[in-house]
Amino acid sequence: MSTATRSPLLSWTVIAPLVGTVVLALTWGRYLGAIPIAVVAVALIGTVLAAVHHAEVVAHRVGEPYGSLVLAVAVTVIEVALILTVMASGGHDAETLARDTVFAAVMITMNGIVGIALLVGALKFGFTHFNPEGSGAALATVATLATLGLVLPTFTTSESGPEFSPSQLVFAALASIVLYGLFVFTQTGRHRDFFLPVTATGVVAEDEHAKPPSGRTALLSLAMLMVALIGVVGLAKVESPAIKAGVDAAGFPASSVGVAIALLVLLPESIAATRAASRERIQTSINLGYGSAMASIGLTIPAIAIASFFMDGPLMLGLDSTQIVLLGLTVVVSVLTVVPGRATRLQGGVHLALLAAYLFLAINP
């Protein structure tokens, strides 16, 4: 049978979530040895990749900039699910897991995804071109959300540690939702053209590349996305003790768990952004990068805030001094990158250097 007539139900992106749910049913509530843990890890990775693939299919169906928005929200749902399931298992590092994961997502998206996209685009086309109005608006929203949700808790005095009081947490959660909603309204409303891909000669037509999938294919992907999300949540719960044990055995700090979660969730999106950059659609890559950072803060913190009222222990959201310095430097460099509306391989290299510094200091603080 040729690949042209092969049923889409036989695709790995359909099989992986189904296998993940079977593995989940077989392993839930049981003590697992090394081999079953490895099988669960493979199933979890495959299910995450499949989930993001189906989100991309739905995103392609609705077009830009809605596509980047759908993909960012789907990835954030997975991220929240992983955070909550690992936090629910308890442990001394559960109180800082949300902060570590969200900050890791911010650094990976703003420096990793954007940096790789700029480098790939510049190496292939000489210059990378994007819309400074849309990119600048996204960057400003990310910087504000990061400051409200991750920096201010370090300096507030209502609580003794780097955490919000209950009323402050409610305010931060509401402000995050309002800011994110306002950005989405701007991105998909009157100023939608600010977020469409551009080249040196002007705006790129949305349908210039691959034909959007059919409605039937998009509905199948939507259904499989729901199945995959269920599998991700359950498999993460099963795998969380092994993740913590591995981090402890390697001698890494507890924050490495958050880095591992962010890297796992954002890997497929990084690949999507790199592919877009190779097709001279840098704005799509930036939409993915900043959109994921924005959704990670604007949706994750409200979700964690609600969950914290039902969990024991404090919720430490405030960054430490090293993290604040890295975040501040990232914002300054990002502003200098975005303002001209075009960039070279140098800007991509600077962002990747910041990502490398963050990853190194996360392991060796």
Residue 4 in any domain: the answer is no
Q: What is the pLDDT of residues 84-138, one digit of tens each?
A: 776 766 555 677 888 888 899 899 999 999 999 999 999 988 888 888 988 999 9
pLDDT of residue 3: 45
The pair of structure tokens assigned to 292 is: 């994921």
Residue among 287, 269, 211, 293 nearest 56 (CA): 269
pLDDT of residue 199: 67
Residue 139 in any domain: the answer is yes
- pLDDT over threshold 80, residue 70: no
Residue 1 in any domain: the answer is no
User: Cα dihedral sign for 346, 147, 299, 357?
Assistant: positive
Q: How many CB atoms lie within 10 A of CB 4?
A: 5
Evaluate if pTM is beyond 0.95: no
The pair of structure tokens assigned to 299 is: 């949706």
Tell me the CATH number at 235: 1.20.1420.30
Q: What is the pLDDT of residues 165-175, one digit of tens each?
A: 889 999 999 99
Reduced to 3 states (helix: H, G, I; strand: E, B; else coil), residue 342 is: strand
Q: In total, how many domains does the chain have?
A: 1
Residue 107 in any domain: the answer is yes
Cα–Cα distance, 362 to 93 (Å, whole number): 14
Phi and psi at 227, nearest 5°, equal: -60, -45
Q: What is the mean pLDDT of the chain?
A: 82
What residues make up the domain containing 290? 9-363
Residues in the chain: 365
Residue 342 in any domain: the answer is yes
Triad 62, 63, 67: Cα angle to 5°: 80
Only one residue has tokens 């914002």, namely: 331
Contacts of 169 (CB under 8 A, 6+ apart): 305, 308, 315
SS3 content of the chain, % helix, strand, coil (to 5): 75, 0, 20
Q: Tell me the residue type at 128.
A: T
Residue 3 in any domain: the answer is no
Residue 276 in any domain: the answer is yes
Mean pLDDT across the stretch 239-245?
76
The pair of structure tokens assigned to 265 is: 């969730």
How far, in Å, are 22, 120, 245 from residue 227 at the CA level? Answer: 11, 34, 28
Q: Are 233 and 226 in contact (CB under 8 A)?
A: no
Q: Tell me the residue type at 231.
A: G
